[in-house]
Structure 1
């Protein structure tokens, strides 16, 4: 089991020291800050038959079964596929688990991540179990974007904001996790992960720096009319759609900010700074605001797991970007 992260120590002491636990917790905060690690340790503690100093003992039968993934009283609910919604049938299976009697005579514990991946029907199917779980059942919901959850889901949970590491803590943890990388690369990864160290580690494993370089090069060629929107949409096929919209939303925001402040310190990472400054001087603010609204609307659809035509969506985005210099 992973150790508690340094920035989680105070919260862990608070949670682990409770004599009586809520029937449902909503652990929320930015992705990549260790909420899953915290939830898994709490699950282990709640299921342990002989906890020691507010920690799972790791030796009892319950701990051994949990480590092997065969504990009958624990349940993990996640999307069946990456970036897909949690479906109502999955939640119905979870509800069937909740109403059963604990097979080992203790608690039942459910871990659900990410809670915002539940579609509307799935979320509504969970409400009764959240309000009146059967027996001694604790539900641990993890959310990276709690604003996307139904108010009825949030109101039935004890909402717990999870602490964020500061830049020094993030960099130290990332340096220990990726000792082969130099300081500049670690800083670049942290910047792309919005300061979340576990997200930075995951992005590195996905090859994010190479993907970023590919996209930045493509944007520059697009503006110079050296590549077409359709060519780029195809070339970026391996880059996650959510990541692309995060970057384009960020770049548009930085253009608007530069138009208002003329502060070059807000241009962001050096790879796109000159492009952002150039475009900010070419496009009118009303046109940028229209583009920003469109980007945010499409990003919401992407994050909401809407059934989108990726190629057409990217082409629509890139056509608008290609036309920015002509909208002064």
Structure 2
């Protein structure tokens, strides 16, 4: 059975204890806090023939089929390729599933993630099923970016925010999951991902600390004119665009904060503190603001799965970064 994460126990107790469930739930919150695990537990509970004390029994025919991945009344919708959109034909197939009769005589449950990956046509195609679901069907949707969903989608669901753990709970969980990760590394990972423990675990397993170090060292070399934008862009092929843009945006925010306050406690993580201070002292605020706006605009395109030329985008970022201390 899927683990109930410690920081979700109160929320789980409220949802699982309902006598009657909504036809559609929208689970939202930052990525990496366990929304998928929460949804999968709820799928198991909703399909279970003999739930006990707000938990799926784990032994009935329905639970066995679900565990085997062959439950006929469970349907999953997600992008067919990583970082691609959920297309309208996928939603049409979902609608066909909704109007079918349950094969095990109970409800049908659909899990859709991430909801913000639906393109406009796909989201509009889902509205009818959300408004008038056929039979005893429950649609569970997960979103990491609630603001990107159509108001008409949000208004047709029971919205449930999934809580983010406090730092102590997150570190305790990470320590249990990652025995090779030190306390200092756990804390650093959480700082890099905004406190989301599952993202921190994934980042560690994918070499995120090493990737961060490569980006930091690369940017330092760029400022010293020891590396060119094209060289760095090529050397960062294995690092996610989202991570690079998140880190660079955070550093620009730190530059702006220091320019306004000269408070050295606001320089951010130690690995870039000196660079942030140097850029704050040597760069014009207008250029920093312009780069911050550019980062934010292109970060939104990355999140929206736009078809971007990775090499050109990184080179454009690095050229602007290299020009900052020359911009006064």
Q: TM-score range by the shorter chain?
A: over 0.9
Tell me what 1:234 maps to.
Answer: 234
Contact 2:108 2:136 in 1 (8 A): yes
- 1:221 corresponds to 2:221: yes
Q: Distance in 1 between matches of 2:266 and 2:81?
A: 37
Equivalences for residues 137-152 of structure 1 within 5 A: 137-152=137-152
* 1:107-150 residue CA offsets vs partner (Å, 9 max, x unmatched): 00011111111111111111111111110000111111101111
Q: Distance in 2 between matches of 1:66 and 1:2?
A: 12
Tell me what 1:163 maps to.
Answer: 163
Q: Distance in 2 between matches of 1:53 and 1:15?
A: 12
Equivalences for residues 105-120 of structure 1 within 5 A: 105-120=105-120
**Matched position secondary structure for 2:292:** helix
Q: Distance in 2 between matches of 1:186 and 1:85?
A: 32
* 1:50-108 residue CA offsets vs partner (Å, 9 max, x unmatched): 11111100000000000000000001111111111111111111111111111111000
Displacement of 1:2 in angstroms is 2.3
Tell me what 2:17 maps to.
Answer: 17
Contact 2:164 2:195 in 1 (8 A): no
Tell me what 2:35 maps to.
Answer: 35
Displacement of 1:190 in angstroms is 1.1
Q: Distance in 1 between matches of 2:204 and 2:80?
A: 24
* 1:277-321 residue CA offsets vs partner (Å, 9 max, x unmatched): 100111111111111111110000110001111111111111000
Tell me what 1:55 maps to.
Answer: 55
Displacement of 1:163 in angstroms is 1.1
Aligned residues: 328
- 1:83 corresponds to 2:83: yes
* 1:217-270 residue CA offsets vs partner (Å, 9 max, x unmatched): 110011111111111111101111111111111111111111111111221111
**Matched position secondary structure for 1:186:** helix
Tell me what 1:251 maps to.
Answer: 251
**Matched position secondary structure for 2:100:** coil
Name the Cα RMSD after superposition.
0.8
**Matched position secondary structure for 1:110:** strand
For normalisation by structure 1, the TM-score amounts to 0.98
Q: Distance in 2 between matches of 1:229 and 1:293?
A: 20
Tell me what 1:323 maps to.
Answer: 323
Structure 1: state its 5+ residue gaps: none
**Matched position secondary structure for 2:129:** helix
